[in-house]
Amino acid sequence: MSQPQIILLKEGTDTSQGKGQLLSNINACTAVVDTVKTTLGPRGMDKLMVDGQGQVTISNDGATIMKLLDIVHPAAKTLVDIARSQDAEVGDGTTSVVLLAGELLKEVKGYIEEGVSPHVIIRGYRQAARLSINKIKELAIKISKDDKEEFYGLLSKCAATAMSSKLIYSQKEFFTKMVVDAVLSLDQDSLNERLIGIKRVPGGAMQESLLVKGVAFKKTFSYAGFEQQPKAFKNPKVLCLNVELELKAEKDNAEVRVEQVSDYQAIVDAEWQIIFQKLEAIVASGAQVVLSKLPIGDLATQYFADRNIFCAGRVAKDDMDRVIQAVGGSVQTTCSDLRDEFLGTCDSFEERQIGGERYNLFEGCPQAKTCTLVLRGGAEQFIAEVERSLHDAIMIVRRAIKNNLVVAGGGATEMEISKYLRVHSRTIEGKQQLIVGAFAKALEVIPRQLCDNAGFDATDLLNRLRMKHAQPGGTWFGIDVNNETIADNFEAFVWEPALVKTNAIAAATEAACLILSVDETIKNKQSEQPGAGMPRGGMPGRGRGVPRR
């Protein structure tokens, strides 16, 4: 007697499972890797992406590309997540982590086809990743923070390496100093990169970009009387408010019933009196620069202009937060008790023309735990890419300060780990030997891709690298992109924080293991919207022409 058929899932549900599903997931990830792999390294190409609204982005930053790729394959979306996590945690190495995850999957595709259990592969990969990360920690060189000049040089080299694959490579020296100074101006305990403001001003040359050791923000919306205000101060007192300084229009259909004209006049006078009390309190506090998150109207603007006070309303929250960090004081939500300790100060305040925009600049700040990069350049897309490049360099310098362990870049670390794993795999019995060997081979994708992107003979250079790493003293040999050869990249100052490598290997292994552990995809048919197919009356059977009861 045959078993009755049991229908478990809704009709129309798409299910794919087994070995075919695993191979399909691996192929999807490989396709994503093929898209981003040409962006790796100093000779990497850029991608031009256009979204649904016609917004154009030109970038070679792995995380940005992965974010803008509208990937629909569920397994391939894992690669987007690891690129984002690498960007958030370290800031650089986003292309490397995607490339590594794709190569780890590609290396074991043959084993999957031959019927090796994914769990054997996962166990081998996890073991190999653990060995790799421990080896990197052994190899990494600790840089002392005691010598300030030497430490500054280390940070500069890490920033320069992060920029070598970016659009700003030609101005590397100019931007390296800017980035290191910016990070060192932050509070060294928290190193909050959000306190580095980046402002874009189209026009001018890249070299006209400047670092303001304080705060700079664009002139806000202004009313009549603004031009009569002084535009520069020495040692001003700065007052930051979250108070609206304008005559209020009644909102929410408020209704005031009056019986006599004098009653109406009393209401108007009261409104004027309220705002004048606020303005007089601000003037009495001795503040010469008044900033508010809320609007400052024309009456207040003119009032301040007559008393030689500068004001700016509608200041963005992040700009206001950075002003507080720089000048001291605190944001006030009332004007009733403005004491001296609530006000900040700085050496100079100035409203200056930068390109086609006017900027408010606070410089020489006593608290200066913040700074602003004002970026110049031709096209808007160009400046946006410069901003992304500087973000990567800032994150790398920040990481180098927190974890002062460095390794050599240019594929040197990957080749050394690959050699170490190959040697170690010979001491393991059974299938695990092949899996650890596959992991070792996958690591070679980084130097190979660097060669391919630069148009070099990858086979020849990789053979030379393998030979060099097998000899004593060849630990830091990697690809020298400028001279089409191999070189000691530690001597050549191609340095990266060890965290970039350890995080990339851990994230790529985790993503590969996650994809290998999936053997079935269940895709639910899209549920119908509630009320779909019902007549407009909202109840079935009550269409047009049916009288209400």
Q: Residues 6 or more apart from 539 whose CB is under 8 A from it? A: none
What are the b/e assignments for 176-212, b being 16+ CB within 10 Å? bebbbbbbbbbeeeebeeebbbbbbbeeeebeebebb
Torsion, Cα of 526, 532, 533, 534 (10° steps): 160
Taking the C-alpha atoms of residue 109 and residue 121, their distance in angstroms, rounded to an integer, is: 10
What is the end-to-end Cα distance of the chain in Å, rounded? Answer: 56
Query: Tokens for 446?
Result: 């980084």
Query: 407: which strand partners?
Result: 496
DSSP 169: G
Q: Is 392 among the catalytic positions?
A: yes
- The first and second tokens of residue 317, run together, are 């929250």
CA 191-197-202 angle, 5° bins: 150
What are the residues whose beta carbons fall under 8 Å from the beta carbon of 517, sequence distance 6 or more? 118, 119, 122
- Distance between CA atoms of residues 497 and 403, nearest Å: 7
C-alpha 468/C-alpha 447 separation (Å) is 14
* Count of CB atoms situated within 10 Å of the CB of 254: 8
* Catalytic residue chosen out of the listed positions 61, 87, 92, 319: 61
C-beta of residue 422 within 8 angstroms of C-beta of residue 140: no
Counts for the chain of helices (H) and strands (E), in that order: 16, 20
Alpha-carbon torsion angle 163, 165, 167, 173, nearest 10: 30
Q: Say if strands 495-497 and 371-377 run parallel, antiparallel, or are unpaired.
A: unpaired
Residue type, 96: S
**Residue carrying the six token digits 């200066």:** 368
Please list, in sequence order, all residues whose beta carbon lies within 8 angstroms of the beta carbon of residue 164, skipping any fewer than 6 positions away: 41, 42, 172, 494
Q: Of 87, 92, 321, 392, which one is the catalytic site residue? A: 392
d(CA 80, CA 57) in angstroms, rounded, equals: 17
Q: Which of 57, 64, 95, 220 is catalytic?
A: 95
| Active-site hit among 64, 78, 94, 372 | 94
Q: Would residue 61 show up in a list of annotated catalytic residues for this protein?
A: yes
Angle in degrees, 0-180, between the axes of helices 118-139 and 498-516, rounded to the nearest 10: 180
| The 310-312 sheet, strands edge to edge | 310-312, 289-292, 237-241, 344-345
C-alpha span between 74 and 29 (Å, rounded): 10
Q: What is the 3-class SS of 236-272, one letter each residue?
A: CEEEEECCCECCCCCCCCCCCCCCCHHHHHHHHHHHH
Enzyme catalytic residues: 61, 94-95, 392
